[in-house]
Structure 1
């Protein structure tokens, strides 16, 4: 399966970069960004694997090239009301145990996780260092598309409920950071898990808010 046809190429094309530069900026989803603002999105606080006491992977993690799409997931776990950092660590352990012990994967499948309290956490081993080097790690979060995507798990189930404000706001900041790092257009790069695989993920409510997510990410990138 190829990337969803309804989305244009996610990367800012050389033509668009040149057109934007000639006009004093870079084109981003139809918006002209000032050249000084194209890299305005800072890295949000990300809690490392060491901080949440991750289990070591069963085998070596493979570092790969930069992704061209950001895949939005939900964990389909209960919509807890404990928004603490301790609760964020707890769900991260649950995800890793599920992925390693039940799914049989070498490690947690996704590169990043956002808790309902809005805490961003590193997922698969070497994810954070790879992002900082404009690379990625081979995950197990989107079947048949792990070689070119990076995945963000969002704690909770959003088939009929809305994400918490803290979670959605952190998703905006995280996607803006990733789009800045990889030179991606958020209107093309940010997709739902269901765009690639037969799944309800990330839930009907969250999926319906992806246009809002893309627009808000573009606004953050404007600086």
Structure 2
């Protein structure tokens, strides 16, 4: 899960659809075919904006900062729900924002991006998607003492003993490949777990053990 707010820089998807793209020579994730041939970069995944899931406005202005050098993998430590719908993805985005604003007292959702258990990619903190498009970042509150140089992805669920859903993991591959391409990052260096920076269980023992696989698949997706 996320770490305390630091506002100052401190230097869905069915299994059938997953395989439908194979006949076309690629992997279909969220309506996007990811080419599997050599030297083909992953496309930007479909991301649902804050306007689409009806996010609350931030309490104060979101700070746009420079490009990140690491991608931090989180889990939300919430229930491993079996509702993989887009409506459920909207619901978890609201839950995260309410928790971070009303309980933690932060200006907004702490993380830049969220992936639901159904594999839907959601915009988190305000201006995250526009900043990524401009090869910038927004100052989040997802990794204590490292918010100024990282971008965080919350993955819905808790992965201490449970495995990561296929749809969620596949979308994480696409998302990380998109971010690494955008920022010119080496996935084998840039992709880290929350516990690599802070004393935390996040992103769970099972998910953390799969980070080498995530890095390898991202590198392959980037061509």
TM-score range, shorter chain: 0.7 to 0.9
Residue in 1 that maps onto 2:190:
189
Where has structure 1 moved over 4 Å in runs of 4 or more? none
Point out where structure 1 has 5 or more consecutive residues left out of the alignment: 1-35
Q: Distance in 1 between matches of 2:153 and 2:141?
A: 12
Residue in 1 that maps onto 2:17:
none
Residue in 2 that maps onto 1:45:
46
Q: Distance in 1 between matches of 2:48 and 2:169?
A: 17
- Measured against aligned partners, the alpha-carbon deviations of 1:144-172 in whole angstroms (never above 9, x if no partner) come to 00000000000000000011000000000
Q: Distance in 2 between matches of 1:40 and 1:176?
A: 8
- Measured against aligned partners, the alpha-carbon deviations of 1:32-87 in whole angstroms (never above 9, x if no partner) come to xxxx94x7121100000000000000000000000000000000000000000000
Residue in 2 that maps onto 1:17:
none
| Structure 1 length-normalised TM | 0.82
SS in 2 for 1:143: coil
Residue in 1 that maps onto 2:91:
90
Aligned residues: 186
1:125-164 → structure 2 map (5 Å cutoff): 125-164=126-165
Point out where structure 2 has 5 or more consecutive residues left out of the alignment: 1-37
Q: Distance in 2 between matches of 1:196 and 1:104?
A: 22
Q: Distance in 2 between matches of 1:175 and 1:40?
A: 12
| Structure 2 length-normalised TM | 0.82
Residue in 2 that maps onto 1:110:
111
Residue in 2 that maps onto 1:207:
208
